[in-house]
Structure 1
Amino acid sequence: MAVTFSDLHTESGLKTLEEFLSGKTYVSGDQLTKDDIKVYGFVSEKPGSSFPSAAKWYDVVSSHLAASFPGKAQGVKFAGQGAPAEAAPAKAAVAADDDDDDLDLFGDETEEDKKAAEEREAAKKTTKKKESGKSSVLLDVKPWDDETDMKKLEEAVRSIQMEGLLWGASKLVPVGYGIKKLQIMMTIVDDLVSVDSLIEEHLTVEPCNEYIQSCDIVAFNKI
Structure 2
Amino acid sequence: MAISFTDLHTETGLRTLEEFLSGKTYISGDQISKDDVKVFAAVTKPGDGFPNVSRWYASVSGVLSPRFPGEALGVKIGSQAAVSAAAPSTEVSKESAGSDDDDDLDLFGDETEEDKKAAEEREAAVKASSKKKESGKSSVLLDVKPWDDETDMKKLEEAVRSVEMPGLLWGASKLVPVGYGIKKLQIMMTIVDDLVSVDSLIEEYLTEEPRNEYIQSCDIVAFNKI
Normalising by structure 2, we get a TM-score of 0.50
2:157 maps to which residue? 154
Question: After TM superposition, what 4+ stretches of structure 1 lie above 6 angstroms from structure 2?
Answer: none
Larger radius of gyration: 2
| Mapped pair 1:119 → 2:51 | no
Aligned twin of 1:165: 168
Q: Which runs of 5+ in 1 are unaligned?
A: 1-68, 73-85, 89-105
Q: Number of matched residues?
A: 126
Give yes or no for the alignment of 1:212 onto 2:215. yes
Please, which of 191, 196, 201 is the counterpart of residue 198 of structure 1? 201
**Corresponding position of 1:134:** 137
Letter in 2 for 1:196: D
Using a 3 Å threshold, how does the CA distance of structure 1 residues 179 and 70 change in structure 2: closer, same or farther?
farther
Distance 2:178 2:147 in 1: 12
The reply on whether 1:177 has 2:180 as its aligned counterpart is: yes
Deviation at 1:70, TM superposition (A): 4.8
- Identical-residue share of aligned pairs (%): 77
Q: Which amino acid aligns with 1:139?
A: L
Q: Deviations over 1:10-35 (max 9, x none)?
A: xxxxxxxxxxxxxxxxxxxxxxxxxx
Note the C-alpha offset of 1:126: 1.9
How big is the shift at 1:209?
0.2
Once residues 222 and 144 of structure 1 are traced to their aligned partners in structure 2, the CA distance between those partners, rounded to angstroms, is: 31
The equivalent residue for 1:71 is: 3
State the Cα distance separating 1:167 from its structure 2 match: 1.0
Q: CA deviation at 1:113?
A: 5.4
C-alpha displacement of 1:148: 0.9
CA distance in structure 2 between the partners assigned to 1:129 and 1:153 by the alignment: 35
Instruction: Give the Å deviation of 1:151.
Output: 1.1
| Structure 1 residues 70 and 128, CA gap change in structure 2 (3 angstroms) | farther
Q: Which amino acid aligns with 1:184?
A: I
Separation (CA, whole Å) in 2 of partners of 1:114 and 1:70? 19
What are the ranges of 5 or more consecutive residues in structure 2 without an aligned counterpart? 5-100, 104-108
SS in 1 for 2:170: strand
Distance 1:193 1:71 in 2: 49
